[in-house]
Structure 1
């Protein structure tokens, strides 16, 4: 087998593997979206849940501003690319990109939930793309005749945003603190407090070294453990009286974490198309391999 044949075989293996991965990963997302029922925030179970509601601004916190347009928003993602041309080949190279990490406040008819967007696959409805001759654009993109007079193709800018008042579909790991909903592991809580106290051993001696010999004997350690248990129970009692605070974040397991301005059906349809494309790509790779190895 010559080098050309080996190159074709390698190409066939690569597109077969890439298509297979795309097929399996996207179909897995479709199943997670469709198999997870939509929950109400107040009654949602702890763990992997699907929520749907309206975005609101955080209390006493000014809104963010899009880094390229300066538009007020609740979340942003941007990318700056530079155009490169070398003879017959041309491409866009990414120079800068990033996204905001401030929590989002989602509300439905039953309550509110803070969403940590870090690690999420976000599909916002607001997306702007334009070109220019400056590395960093100055505010909103020009329109009409002004865009034609000042436009350029050296740099391309993309900014996506989530705004207050927009609907949001979210699926991820849900947890609640306060409101009496969290469980209480007395032993684990006591051990945590003991570790905190041992970090300040001088303070521990000052509180429990009753005979002043500079160390804690067996009886004194018994008092330390009893005090730690009572402290754990007091902390749990105090946490239970606080209003429930709901949070949604990236799951620890490899489950989809998706935030979208579009509904479940739109997302599922998009993932189905991507899965179909992956299956077709995998089939093309398999056919190429079969033709080369036959």
Structure 2
């Protein structure tokens, strides 16, 4: 459930509910003698504050506990990656034409009553656009693809344009900028080609045979000057292992894909660095926890 919610929305809703409850109490002229009404209102505020505190703490744990890796060394599974984002085919935001790797955009009818008051009398949503194309994340060791579908995206920039009684808003991740991604690295579609592996094994063994002295130094364990069947089998096993390792390293050239986890893990694409996100979630968790303590103190004082 937590992974489906937007961090900013949860925090704003929790603050709005708590503030709205106290505003409602003020408008209702509630006194300390109205304990039943206070209990109902404070109970609602406690639930929202508790949920928001747990939500931010859960996100903080997900960021701090995720394994950190370079792309070339990454194994399949839930992982944290850093790199520079780019696309093979250039993508531009629809209204401003800014180069990016992902965007979402809204177009509103924004007619005003008159040019002097600037009071909006029409605010209809006319169009919503969101890119769903995969983009490449690259670090100093390799590259992988990122499928943004289903991710919570913390964007780097937002632009607003007013034109011809319309308002155009865009949020986007600029191309060529660092990104932090938390998600599932999927390598299952990169099945090992047995023929490629076998050819690589034959090449390694042929290279060993062309250097007999090195072959004897490595595998002539009984030092009789010959390679017997068991020693040759060991050489073959080592060649297979080398071939698989080489194939795995070659695979990290952008064909692996980071996607939405199938379990309850968080899928996050952020233009903010992880230490900035951690600081933000920690701050909000503390704020909601302090509010929760104050609300509980008030609740038990009135009961």
TM-score (normalised: structure 1) = 0.60
C-alpha change, 1:82 and 1:25, in structure 2 (3 Å) is farther
Aligned with residue 253 of structure 1, among 252, 258, 263: 263
Is 2:209 aligned against 1:178? no
Alpha-carbon distance in 2 for matches of 1:276, 1:97: 35
CA contact (8 A) 2:66 2:79 kept: yes
Partner-residue secondary structure (3-state), 2:132 = coil
Is 2:196 aligned against 1:166? no
- Give the number of the structure whose residues are more often helix, by fraction: 2
C-alpha change, 1:277 and 1:93, in structure 2 (3 Å) is farther
Partner in structure 2 of residue 188 of structure 1: none
Partner in structure 2 of residue 105 of structure 1: 136
Task: Report which of the two structures shows the higher radius of gyration computed on alpha carbons.
Answer: 2
Alpha-carbon distance in 1 for matches of 2:299, 2:151: 36
Partner in structure 1 of residue 66 of structure 2: 36
Alpha-carbon distance in 1 for matches of 2:295, 2:84: 44
C-alpha change, 1:288 and 1:129, in structure 2 (3 Å) is farther
User: How big is each residue's C-alpha offset from its partner over 1:126-150, in whole Å with a ceiling of 9 and x where there is no partner?
Assistant: 2224666723x4xxxxxxxxxxxxx
Alpha-carbon distance in 2 for matches of 1:81, 1:20: 36
Alpha-carbon distance in 2 for matches of 1:128, 1:270: 23
Alpha-carbon distance in 2 for matches of 1:31, 1:94: 39
Partner in structure 1 of residue 165 of structure 2: 134
Is 2:92 aligned against 1:65? yes
C-alpha change, 1:279 and 1:125, in structure 2 (3 Å) is same
Structure 1 residue ranges, 4+ long, deviating more than 6 angstroms after superposition = none
Alpha-carbon distance in 2 for matches of 1:291, 1:17: 18
User: How big is each residue's C-alpha offset from its partner over 1:54-113, in whole Å with a ceiling of 9 and x where there is no partner?
Assistant: 11122xx2x223233232321112345788xxxxxx9x9783655321112101122211
Is 2:46 aligned against 1:19? no
Q: What is the alpha-carbon root mean square deviation over aligned residues?
A: 3.5
Matches within 5 A, 1:90-239: 95=125, 97-129=128-160, 134-135=165-166, 137=167, 157-176=168-187, 177-178=189-190, 180=192
Alpha-carbon distance in 1 for matches of 2:296, 2:164: 44
Alpha-carbon distance in 2 for matches of 1:120, 1:75: 11
Partner in structure 1 of residue 6 of structure 2: none
User: How big is each residue's C-alpha offset from its partner over 1:252-289, in whole Å with a ceiling of 9 and x where there is no partner?
Assistant: 11111111112110110111112122213323432343
Partner-residue secondary structure (3-state), 2:63 = helix
Partner-residue secondary structure (3-state), 2:59 = helix
Alpha-carbon distance in 1 for matches of 2:161, 2:282: 29
Structure having greater relative contact order (Cα 8 Å, sep ≥ 6): 1
Alpha-carbon distance in 2 for matches of 1:258, 1:132: 33
User: How big is each residue's C-alpha offset from its partner over 1:183-221, in whole Å with a ceiling of 9 and x where there is no partner?
Assistant: xxxxxxxxxxxxxxxxxxxxxxxxxxxxxxxxxxxxxxx
Partner in structure 1 of residue 292 of structure 2: 282
Alpha-carbon distance in 1 for matches of 2:140, 2:291: 44
Is 2:38 aligned against 1:8? yes
Is 2:81 aligned against 1:51? yes
Deviation of the 1:161 alpha carbon: 1.1
